[in-house]
Chain A
Amino acid sequence: MIQLTVNGKTYEVDAPADMPILWVLRDKLGLTGTKFGCGAAQCGACTIHLDGEAIRSCVAPVSRAVGKKIVTIEGLDDSLAKPLQEAWTEVDVPQCGYCQSGQIMAAAILLRDNAHPTDRDIDNAMTGNICRCGTYQRIRSAIHMAVTLKTSAAAVQP
């Protein structure tokens, strides 16, 4: 049995050490917000956070997560999730939506590390997440909007 911490909860999972984290999340824990895209770390649909880094869960063995904290789209902290969710809705980013979980997990890392990203920063941060519907321009707009929302939310807090 492997002990994992996912979105703040501890789980005991019966899985081989080399099983990709993605399949543990989806098939063992029922957390299906994280998507399977390519299975080779090429597309970014499976992006999750492992101790604060946006890893590709389709190639990362579950043994890598032992003793670390996994965060999936279902458990993303509100300080990042709320502005991103609101901006994504406002800009109407998704078309088919399949890649968007990974897109948002990647965008969250950008916003955490860079409070005021330029277009270039956004391109550098998001270029590894592929969208077959081509929503890139809307993703960029939504990230700018999320920055504004996040900044506004921070300003009104006591």
Chain B
Amino acid sequence: MKHVNLRIRPRKWILAILFLAGTGLSILGIPGEPTAIRPGETREMALRREAESKAAFESAYHVFMSPRCMNCHPAGNVPLQGDDSHLHTQGVRRGPDGRGLYALKCKNCHQDANLPGEHMPPGLPTWRLPPEDRPMVFQGKSPRELAASFKNARFTGFASIHQIIEHVEKDPLVLHSFTYGTRPPLEHGEFAAKVREWVEKGAVLPDK
């Protein structure tokens, strides 16, 4: 047993030193280098801007991953339903264009507007999932993975990352997500402002 202890102790000391060194540097406000320094920015200003960009995304992430948003961005080809994000009843499927299959097209049940009453289908003229060739999966992604996806034109279909601002500010499907059921954790205006802040401050990827 003695022999084993002697072998473990040095490793613990190394870890402790590394931990204290990291904590100390963080307290002193000396984290890593910024990914980019904009004209007129000091290194410290760039670091602050990038930290704010990450924080903004992390706030918006909770909206992206709320059932009102994520349910139509599933990892599979079946939309999700409800606050527990269960598979959509009726076994409906995405279909090539995201509008469903055969007798189970989205608009066969979802009308142009929400219907009154409990458990009635919510509605909008453009009710659909993303199409099969660009499924825009949110489900299962960490903040870093989702942010990276949004920066990928093949994922979004946007020519520029700035189009995501217009999308979250104006797209009827996005706006509609804030009108029924358990609402996302931010008001729409606050959410859109966070996305704008994330993009305008560099669309920096969160750490995890």
Number of B interface residues in the complex (CB < 8 A): 20
Assess whether A127 is in contact with B107, with CB atoms less than 8 Å apart: no
Contact A53 B108 (CB under 8 A): yes
Question: How far apart are the CA atoms of A8 and B109 in the complex, in Å?
Answer: 23
Bound Cα distance A27, B93 (Å): 33
Report the nearest A residue to B93, measured CB to CB: A124
Cα distance A96–B29 when bound, in Å?
75
**Complex interface: chain A residues within 8 A of B89 (CB):** 42
The stretch of A74-82, A86-94, A104-112, A150-158 that contacts the partner chain:
A104-112
Which residues of the other chain, B, contact A127 by a CB distance below 8 angstroms?
90-91, 104
Question: How far is B88's CA from A127's CA once the two chains are assembled, in angstroms?
Answer: 12
Q: With A60-B111, A128-B91 as known contacts, state yes or no: A54 contacts B121, CB within 8 Å.
A: no
With known contacts A60-B111, A124-B93, A129–B103 Cβ distance under 8 A: yes
Interface centre among B101, B108, B111, B112 (most CB of A within 10 A): B108
Q: How far is the CA of A20 from the CA of B104 in the complex (A)?
A: 19
Contact between B112 and A54 (Cβ–Cβ < 8 Å)? Answer: no
Whether A66 sits at the interface, judged by CB under 8 Å, is no
A47 CB to closest chain B CB, in angstroms? Answer: 7
Q: A40-B119, A41-B121, A53-B105 are in contact. Are A128 and B111 (CB under 8 A)?
A: no
Q: Is B46 part of the contact surface with A, judged by Cβ < 8 Å?
A: no
Residues of chain B contacted by A129 (CB below 8 angstroms): 103
How many Å from the CB of A42 to the closest CB on chain B? 7
The answer to the question of A19 belonging to the interface, with a C-beta cut-off of 8 Å to chain B, is no
Mark out the residues of chain A between 113 and 158 whose CB falls within 8 Å of any chain B CB in the assembled complex: 113-114, 121, 123-129
> Do B103 and A105 touch across chains, with their CB atoms under 8 A apart?
yes
Q: Could you tell me the distance in whole angstroms from the C-beta of A91 to the nearest C-beta in chain B?
A: 19
Smallest CB gap from A50: residue in B: B108
Cβ of B111 and Cβ of A125 under 8 Å apart?
no
A126, B115: Cβ atoms closer than 8 Å: no
Which 4 pairs of residues, A with B, have the shortest CB-CB distance? Answer: A127-B91, A128-B90, A106-B103, A54-B103
The 6 sampled A-B contact pairs (Cβ below 8 Å) are A54-B105, A56-B109, A109-B103, A121-B102, A124-B91, A125-B103
